[in-house]
Amino acid sequence: MLQQRVTKMPATSQNKIVETATSREQVEIADLTRLINKLVSLVPGDHDNTFFFGDLSHAQLVERVRAEVRLRKLRCELLGVPQDMFSMPAWEILTELLLAELLGQQNNVSTVGLEAGIPQSTAQRWLVLLEKRNLVRRRRDFMDKRRQWIGLTPSAYKALCRYFAA
């Protein structure tokens, strides 16, 4: 699946990235491309994450994560209390990031926590703690240096997939 996403990038987008990059960045892009291809080739299960998902299909795993998010919101609605009453910011951020990754989406640092109803300042504090615990990682957007992407580390992704597959 990762290899499909990498190879599905339109050639025009690939060329645009390479054309606007400096020679040093071009070398780094080439190195990263080789590394990604090597990593993809090492993932068992015909690159469809069955290693992490157990007996579940990708769609079933996505549904389990979505159910967790729905139940969290429903709990607050049924009791008539604000979302922060039962707030677990770390868990909410991790499930939000997992769902985004399973759906092939990216979150930038400034929007993490919005879907979960976490104030941005709270989300930022928790992101620092999660990053120190090696559960999330930041990546600079090479097209817009002002923006940072946030995602799960490979070990956190693997652990969360196994948790929801259990």
The encoded tokens of residue 90 equal: 């770390």
pLDDT, tens digit, for every residue of 9-29? 454 544 454 455 567 766 666
Q: Which long-range contacts (CB under 8 A, 24 or more apart) does 14-19 make?
A: 17/142
| Confidence (pLDDT) at 154 | 93
Are 150 and 130 contacting, i.e. CB atoms less than 8 angstroms apart? no
Which pTM was predicted?
Answer: 0.66
Write down all domains in the chain, each with its CATH number in brackets.
1-48 (no CATH), 53-165 (1.10.10.10)
pLDDT, tens digit, for every residue of 108-151? 888 888 877 788 888 999 999 999 999 999 998 888 888 899 99
Per 3-state DSSP, the chain is made up of helix, strand and coil in percentages (nearest 5) of: 65, 5, 30
The mean predicted confidence, pLDDT, of the chain is: 78
Q: What angle do CA 23, 24, 29 make, to 5 degrees?
A: 95
